[in-house]
């Protein structure tokens, strides 16, 4: 629960001063034995804790989802499997799952989406990582425009959407193969470009290393690079930039 929510509850006499004091005196995390949930993360950083689902046992994942949902009224998880989704849906019928980005979420319906982030991909195969970035940014309250399949092998496709890209507060460029899209975008816009290398490509791309090296060696200014396939990190950083811009 956000600090402002607690203060408003006290103001509206829905919570006593003593109850609010107990809330603020709690440890800044919840000890679960196998996990320490960072319940004060949103107070410190403006973003609640998110679950990395891959590799988590059901007996760990379910209680973590339960605690975060009880605290925040919503929950967001990345790299979830279909099996994990089916397990959670038995307890939380409203939970959503996107099999492309592998995101699970229970989200508030009245959320406002502001500003503008453009999420661009070089090819269709890059969409799973791009969707992780886009849905992360949307969950955190950003408005996102998706501009897919505009890679350098047909650069006229990119130019056809350049007007909306140039209006964005931040651009996320998702590309595999040689990863040239980020450099091209960096030379066409006056806003930050977050480059996301993907593991899409043939053998000599070394599971995304070729795109990573291209992006971190970009000659275009204003390009910063996150890890291979790290759509979540790109969406988070893009939201921080979008919030500052608006």
Q: What pLDDT is recorded for position 27? A: 62
Q: What pLDDT is recorded for position 104? A: 96
Tokens of 168: 């964005």
**Rounded CA gap, 136 and 17, in Å?**
35
**Rounded CA gap, 70 and 30, in Å?**
12
Q: What pLDDT is recorded for position 30? A: 65
Q: What pLDDT is recorded for position 44? A: 75
Q: Which residues contact 57 (CB under 8 A, 6 or more apart)?
A: none
Q: Locate tokens 């070394």: which residue? A: 206
Half-sphere exposure of 86 (CA within 13 A, CB side): 3
pTM (2 decimals)?
Answer: 0.85
Positions of the chain with pLDDT under 70: 1-2, 24-27, 29-34, 37-38, 40, 43
Helices (H), 15-147: 17-25, 41-45, 58-72, 82-89, 127-139
Class of domain 114-245: alpha beta
Q: What pLDDT is recorded for position 4? A: 76
Q: What pLDDT is recorded for position 224? A: 96
**Is there a contact between 150 and 165 (Cβ–Cβ < 8 Å)?**
no
**Rounded CA gap, 184 and 107, in Å?**
35
pLDDT digits (tens, 9 = 90+) for 156-180: 999 999 999 999 999 999 999 999 9
Q: What is the DSSP letter of 179?
A: -
Largest CA distance in the chain: 64
Domain layout of the chain by residue ranges? 3-106, 114-245
Q: What pLDDT is recorded for position 1? A: 60
**Rounded CA gap, 129 and 105, in Å?**
17
Q: What pLDDT is recorded for position 47? A: 76
């Amino acid at each position: 629960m956000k600090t402002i929510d607690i203060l408003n509850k006290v103001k509206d006499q829905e919570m006593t001063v003593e109850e609010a004091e107990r809330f603020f005196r709690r440890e800044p995390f919840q000890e679960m034995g196998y996990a320490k949930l960072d319940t004060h993360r949103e107070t410190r950083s403006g973003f609640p804790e998110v679950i990395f689902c891959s590799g988590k046992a059901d007996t760990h994942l379910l209680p973590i989802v339960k605690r975060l949902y009880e605290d925040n009224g919503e929950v967001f998880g990345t790299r979830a499997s279909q099996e994990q989704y089916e397990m959670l849906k038995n307890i939380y019928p409203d939970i959503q799952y996107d099999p492309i980005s592998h995101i699970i979420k229970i989200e508030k319906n009245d959320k406002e989406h502001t500003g503008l982030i453009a999420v661009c991909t070089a090819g269709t195969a890059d969409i799973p990582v791009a969707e992780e970035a886009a849905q992360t940014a949307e969950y955190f309250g950003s408005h996102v425009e998706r501009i897919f399949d505009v890679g350098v092998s047909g650069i006229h496709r990119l130019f056809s959407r350049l007007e909306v890209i140039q209006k964005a507060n931040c651009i996320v460029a998702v590309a595999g193969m040689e990863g040239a899209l980020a450099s091209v975008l960096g030379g066409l816009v006056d806003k930050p470009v977050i480059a996301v290398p993907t593991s899409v490509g043939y053998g000599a791309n070394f599971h995304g290393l070729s795109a990573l090296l291209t992006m971190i060696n970009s000659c275009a200014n204003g390009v910063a690079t996150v890890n291979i396939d790290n759509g979540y990190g790109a969406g988070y950083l893009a939201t921080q930039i979008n919030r500052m811009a608006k």
